[in-house]
Structure 1
């Protein structure tokens, strides 16, 4: 899914064609990978393009769908993409094993991880502690599954007797509904609305976000390779500034954001995705911390907690430092990030 928008409208409005063409040719191409198929929160980048925020920064951004945060990390590391939206938790292990290709978070879009334990009524799980001895499901390398032992420790869940079933991400919700597993882990807003989309009554869905039950970690972020960032710091700052502007536009006009995504994916369900975005906004994005300090605010103590938690979960003896994994140097001024 590649999106390139023409500048025909601007060209017709320009008094001279030659200066316009010279400006268009000067645009910096940027390859941007999302974490998953188009969802409501991705509207921030669709609006950044449609409202000319990228063009204003001199950027020509190609935005492609993703196939999971882990896949996006691999694509960034390989150089297939310049910038990606992915989970820094997955980068802790990757950076420890690939210091020559290490990734850096340059804009924390999700102040809280969206990872959650999710089930439906009638499975004998009415609180997190009831997961003890049950059959849980998730893709093998997904962050929500890797972090589950840390969540279990924080939420006082007895890990003894828990039996894990692995599945492809697109089968997770169906396997839960078909009772092949008792509960699943995944991003709260992804699993919740996928279940709604396949007919599960909303009042039957039970969920416990990790961040609201003792494991308050950062969530998904704009990330890139450290060596690319060294060469392209100005471009990175421009992309972040446009992203912040796009998110503000989405917060102010959710229907416009959903319509922008619908243009890119005809099967996009605007009503359902608006609801998905509302959950994402309220649970992971506009937290009290963000309302007080602005979009993308970075607290290095919380960054260190993320590194430490993942190092313990993965058994990493020499994890990367939080300072090497997170930076706020490319954020616009706090006055531009206020909400």
Structure 2
């Protein structure tokens, strides 16, 4: 059952469950450089939510939401904000080392294909005969064959050009590629920073709208931390949940906390990114039904199947290896009401 981590893992947790969360230091890795969409973590720290739980949470910048998983697996970090699909990949081959997601944040997937108006691409069928630029190894690029298969496109007619992530938007703007395989929350604001209007001048095709109903980024923790100090994990989740609820109501306070963490951020852009995360990735009919932080069991099972197919994994991990709601606050405490301000 998805509600719990594996019996063996819980058994260890119960055995050492008397460990105190008091004065516990948790090294926490972000998914990327400082972004407004991470404001809940900074807000929780600035407002003493971690301290109330007896935690000293040390937050570091990240270098990719998939890399967060490997950093936790190596023991360099105890927890972080990263991609659940990367957990699935690693759990397939190293189930004893892969972290567990304990709080889903991006309920909707950010994987998308973006094209400039006038490119000749108006529907996904129009990808045929055009060149798509993708960064090798990123989920959007690696899952393209599954996207093609599910939507009955002729993949041999789609040309894929590999490039570094930072070249995608400049090459799209110049017309060197016809479309780019991106994370919407990253690409949208890369376009903004390049003086583009991503709403008026670009079309966006979200994987989630075309048979790729995947989950995405959330809070994950190491199996070691779950086993040695489940109280600390529960406290971490409670504190982050309080931060999420607060920032959903007051984005200015969230951005102030982000600025306290990194005074080099572009406040206007990062506030827009924070609001974009709520509009496009967090608030959904499912989130409103089950509360922020949770997932639906049947959808998670389907999502695992998509990733197993897309990455041609040899073993299909059980949902309980990927996500645990064991540490979630009660549903009433996860009622998120978003008001743009």
After TM superposition, the score normalised by the length of structure 2 is 0.88
Question: Which residue number in structure 1 is paired with residue 268 of structure 2?
Answer: 271
* Cα displacement (A) at 1:232: 2.2
Mean CA deviation greater in 327-336 or 199-208: 199-208
Q: 1:155 to 1:250 in 2, by over 3 A?
A: farther
CA distance in 1, matches of 2:197, 2:335: 37
Counterpart mapping for 1:277-292 below 5 A: 277-292=274-289
CA distance in 1, matches of 2:134, 2:237: 32
Question: Which residue number in structure 2 is paired with residue 244 of structure 1?
Answer: 241
Q: Deviations over 1:301-332 (max 9, x none)?
A: 11111110011111113121112111110101
What is the total number of aligned residue pairs between the two structures?
315
Question: Which residue number in structure 1 is paired with residue 67 of structure 2?
Answer: 71
Question: Which residue number in structure 1 is paired with residue 36 of structure 2?
Answer: 40
Question: Which residue number in structure 1 is paired with residue 189 of structure 2?
Answer: 193
Q: 1:279 to 1:155 in 2, by over 3 A?
A: farther
CA distance in 1, matches of 2:31, 2:153: 29
Report SS of the residue matched to 2:91.
helix
Report SS of the residue matched to 1:237.
helix
Conserved 8 A contact 1:298-1:327: no
After TM superposition, the score normalised by the length of structure 1 is 0.88
Pick 1 or 2: higher relative contact order, CA cutoff 8 A, min separation 6: 2
Question: Which residue number in structure 2 is paired with residue 323 of structure 1?
Answer: 320
Q: 1:93 aligns with which of 89, 98, 115?
A: 89
Q: Deviations over 1:39-85 (max 9, x none)?
A: 22100111001111111111111111111122211111101110011
Q: Deviations over 1:236-281 (max 9, x none)?
A: 1111111111111111110111121122222312222222222211
* Cα displacement (A) at 1:222: 0.9
Stretches of structure 2 that go unaligned for 5 or more consecutive residues are: 1-20, 337-341
Question: Which residue number in structure 1 is paired with residue 4 of structure 2?
Answer: none
Q: Deviations over 1:132-161 (max 9, x none)?
A: 232112221111112222223344433222
* Cα displacement (A) at 1:214: 2.7
Counterpart mapping for 1:306-317 below 5 A: 306-317=303-314
